[in-house]
Structures are given as structure tokens and as C-alpha cells.
Structure 1
């Protein structure tokens, strides 16, 4: 039995799907009055895209990161404030 109300009470949720040419991760925000739309991350061989629907306009917003930018972001999440250059 699939009970969405039970799933929501378990805390933050996400899904992972493996398509032919990408791994797709969907981040599902907690239900609340300030809730944001779900975020979909598509990991391709040469880039990563991040998509989220704009609730006001209904338009899909999409950001594309190169693998180098993704590596920089990954490193930045664990560093203090400052300016850095990642070694190749």
C-alpha cells in the first residue's frame, strides 16, 4: 500500500532513477507554506543539469554545470569563506 502521508512524515525525500543517458535525482522539499518546487538533477557523461519549476510563472528554470564546475562546487561546500583555485 502506497501512503503518501506516511512518506511525508518520514522527513526529507529524494528519488534516484537511471535513464539511458543520465542518472536523475529528484529532491522533494518538505511540505510547508514556504515549500519550494522539487529540484531535478540530471547527471550526464559531460555535464550536470539542475531544473526547478518557477511556481509563479510555471516555467522550467534550468542550470547546466560542466564537470569542472561541479568539482568546484563539491570542493566549495567544505571550505570556509575565501577565494580558491582548485588543482587540476
Structure 2
């Protein structure tokens, strides 16, 4: 399950784990104009863990999910 909210400066997506007996904490994704942050509460340390990706890193991640093992460089086409 997930929710989507639109703030004035970002889109916020919350992923809610509904699978299996070992449920994980919710994940919040905040997409701004120049970056995407992924936040998850860590119950062991009682803190939020934040990972921030540039839009270039996010594009690479999206492409990597569909590629076999190897080293790649994405080249953007001129528009």
C-alpha cells in the first residue's frame, strides 16, 4: 500500500509494508525539483535514516533495476 501527497515544494510518497509477518517500518520518499530523499525509521537506533539522491543518481537507479550485472554510464540524448 502507498499514499501520495503533493506539497507546494515536493511530492511525498509513503510506502507501507503489508507483506508477511516480519513487517518493516514505513518508507517516506520526498521528491523535490533537484533531489529525492528516502527516509525510514530505524527502531534499533530510534532515529530516522535519510538517503538523498540527485536526479541523476535516481535515473541511474531506475535503469539499474532492469540491467544485468556490469558497469554502465547513461548518456542523455540531446533534445
TM-score using structure 1 length: 0.81
* 1:74 corresponds to 2:62: yes
Q: Which runs of 5+ in 1 are unaligned?
A: 1-12
Question: Aligned partners of 2:49 and 2:26: how far apart in 1?
Answer: 12
Deviation readout 1:9-40 (Å, 9 max, x if unpaired)? xxxx0000001100000000015431110000
Would you say how many aligned residue pairs link Structure 1 and Structure 2? 76
Specify whether residues 66 and 22 from structure 1 end up closer, same or farther in structure 2 by C-alpha distance, changes over 3 A only. Answer: same
1:64 deviates by 0.3
Structure with the higher strand share, 1 or 2: 2
Q: 4+ runs of 1 displaced by more than 2 Å?
A: none
SS at match of 2:4: strand
- If you compute each CA radius of gyration, which structure gives the higher value, 1 or 2? 1
Select 1:38's aligned residue among 16, 26, 48. Answer: 26
* 1:55 corresponds to 2:43: yes
Q: Which runs of 5+ in 2 are unaligned?
A: none
Structure with the higher helix share, 1 or 2: 1
Select 2:71's aligned residue among 42, 59, 83. Answer: 83
